[in-house]
Chains A and B, each alone.
Chain A
Amino acid sequence: MKVIDKIVHWARLKSPWILHFNTGACNACDIEIIAALTPRFDVERFGVQLKATPRHADILVCSGPVTRQIRDRLIRIYEQMPEPKFVVAVGTCATSGGVFQGLYNVLGGIDQAIPVNAYIPGCPASPMAIIDGVVKLLKSLEESE
């Protein structure tokens, strides 16, 4: 069984499918996330694919400070993802509410709603930073298991 677990673990690291969700961001980070898929950065080299439904995704890439209206939708999407799942918070807003800290309709940061595995600072986090964040997340999974 040990060998099978090792193979499945290798496969999990080699094909991380991402789901992008904008929880009230100014969509600068979202454009940078999608820019990471385009020819100059092309995350498909690491097997990363942008998927459409939480059912197909392993990594939930969120950007933006969680606004009150979107908080429950975010929790629902997070719960609809099958189990070995991770959350990456892209941008300073997703990490700590950023420049929108203290505004009345903002909860400030993704970790106010769901547990987060990796934080990528930057306003907006450039595609290089996003790729570096995802690769660091995968490396940390490699050591943990």
Chain B
Amino acid sequence: MTDAETIKQKLEAKFNYLKGSVRLQREKRLWLETAYDKFAELFDFAVKELGFSFLCTITGLDEGENLGYIYHLAQPGGIVLNIKTRTKKNEPIKSITAYFPSGNIYERELVDLLGAKVEGLIEGLRYPLPDDWPRDQYPLRKDWDAKVLEKGSYGEMHGENVQMPIGPKQIKGPTSFSIAHKNDVTLPIGPQHPALKEPESFSVALRGEKIAGVELRLGYNHRGIEKGCEQRSYIQDIYLIERICGICSHSHSTAYVSAVEEIAGLEIPKRASYIRTIIAELERIHSHLLWLGVAGHEIGFDTLLMYSWRDREAIMDILAMLTGNRVNYGINQIGGVRRDITPDQVPQIIKVIETLEEQTKYYIQLALEEVTLIQRLSGVGVLSKEDVLRLGAVGPTARASSVPRDTRKDDPYAAYAEMPFKVITDDHNDVYGRTIVRLGELMESYSMTKHALINMPDGPISVKAPRKIPAGEAVSRYEAPRGEDVHYIKSNGTENPERVKVRAPTLANTQAVSKMLEDRYLADLPIVVAAIDPCFSCTDRSISIINLENEHEKVMTWKDLRDYSVEWYKKQGVDFSKMKRRQFP
């Protein structure tokens, strides 16, 4: 009687209309369907009594005349409860941000892409579509077609000959409306900024050197991959899904492929799952080394960038040897793996991993002793354990605040059930703790890769997969280097998937960035943002974080700005005649 069955019993006992309709599709996956009026009570019961304390994501479906919503709730033990419900297209649904504050991103995405109406959603920046995208166009609707965007055709639909607004005109950027206080400086850390490897736009309200408020606008990387997946076959989708993000491409393709295999009921050979695990750990090694370098660069310690990326090249060579390409390996296929690891490659890999183990020990010693490094990292970007649980942070960000949330342990996939490894947690709750966790995970990955290479079973590496996947749906979770990555796939028996939903780990972590930036210095913004190891091309999500009382924006000329500040300082009592000593922070 696994605990998934006990939960099934509890649900059917509490709600008799659910009798027999709760489906246990896989060992840790519960599916159930309910009408929207009974949904609130069921949701409250699941979150409060059954202990589903983590909201993976909300998937929106276009089902002809009404909109389907699937709420994926997860338990620390790894069980995922998927609650399906549906409403008419123009019927509003109630926001669940009361239970999960991080839910507002998923709801904002429903509003933008599917035209859902959500009551109680806090006002914020538009996401994920561009600012000039017309409000009534919903790309993820089945009847919507990209041809609308061609020149002119947009005009016919709207009568007047207006061209789809993509011309270079003054776009209302995030900084044009004021989020700042009276005399704050609104600094745009814009799409092009040396600290950001990818385009996203922070507008930071500064009071001197202190951060008063941060507004994060993403969506610059939104390419519409989910819509693209619906127009391509399953096999073509592997190569599209793999290019969501350059650093964790294996994560996305493995999660996607294992979900499709679960729907098709394919059982992949043992050797294939071992090869997937090895490539997964090699990718985690190169991603963590990359992060170590970027973190060093963000705090001005470029030597760490040069050293860690020099060592990373060794791993890139191995990945190129194993899979043929340094990044975007393309080793997964539905039903198994495309290339085998030959026995003579194994000693080469183990030799390189041993040299890297020495080098990582040097980095661990460096992180524990280098004074300026510790000064810049400790006490920065603090995130307490309660905040992690409330905001739903995942991956090293959560584990550094002593929350042992690791999908490899809770909900093992590929060959992680037989891998001996321990979840690294740390109680520093700050960027320093995240550095320690990532370095610890590097050491774990080294030992795991060696273990997997040595006792990898023989046998075939893939199984024949049907071109048409039978109708069904599946949720797969994967522990990407940045955190938990969730894929939901719905198939309708044809060659193309009906719906592909990707929730990247950085999306869950961006919620926590605002909490970490409260009352910090501007100098800490790059390292705090880098500490969650953001991969915005996975995410292209956006939220508004701290919103000071929104004063209408008044353009001040230089003169009245000066008079204003002199008078403002007089109110503060700083008019030099009777100097009052300000409290030194």
Interface residues in chain A, defined as those with a beta carbon under 8 Å from any beta carbon in chain B: 19, 21-32, 34-35, 38-40, 50, 52, 54, 64-65, 67-73, 75, 77, 98-100, 102-107, 123-124, 126
Contacts and interface: CB of A to CB of B under 8 A. Distances in A.
B247 interface: yes
Contacts of B139: 104-105
A65 B246 contact: no
A72 B146 CA distance: 21
Contacts of A77: 192
A30 B313 CA distance: 15
A68 B222 CA distance: 9
B77 interface: no
A69 B130 contact: yes
6 contacts: A31-B290, A40-B310, A52-B194, A54-B192, A71-B168, A104-B224
A65 B193 CA distance: 19
Contacts of B551: none
B548 interface: no
Interface SS, B side: loop
Nearest to B314: A40
Contacts of B306: 38-39
B197 A30 contact: yes
A54 B312 CA distance: 29
Contacts of B227: 103-104
B263 interface: no
Nearest to A79: B168
A124 B224 contact: no
A67 B222 contact: yes
Contact of B130 (A26, A30, A67, A102): A67
B218 to A, nearest CB: 9
Contact of A38 (B132, B171, B309): B309
A27 B247 contact: yes
Contact of B220 (A54, A69, A100): A69
B190 interface: yes
A68 B243 contact: no
A44 to B, nearest CB: 11
Given A28-B246, A39-B306, A22 B197 contact: yes
B68 interface: no
A30 B246 CA distance: 9
Contact of A105 (B129, B190, B328): B129
B541 to A, nearest CB: 13
Contact of A103 (B166, B193, B224, B305): B224
A24 B293 CA distance: 22
A126 B326 CA distance: 8
A22 B149 CA distance: 24
A22 B199 contact: yes
A101 B129 CA distance: 17
Contacts of A104: 139, 146, 149, 224, 227
Contacts of B537: 22, 24-27
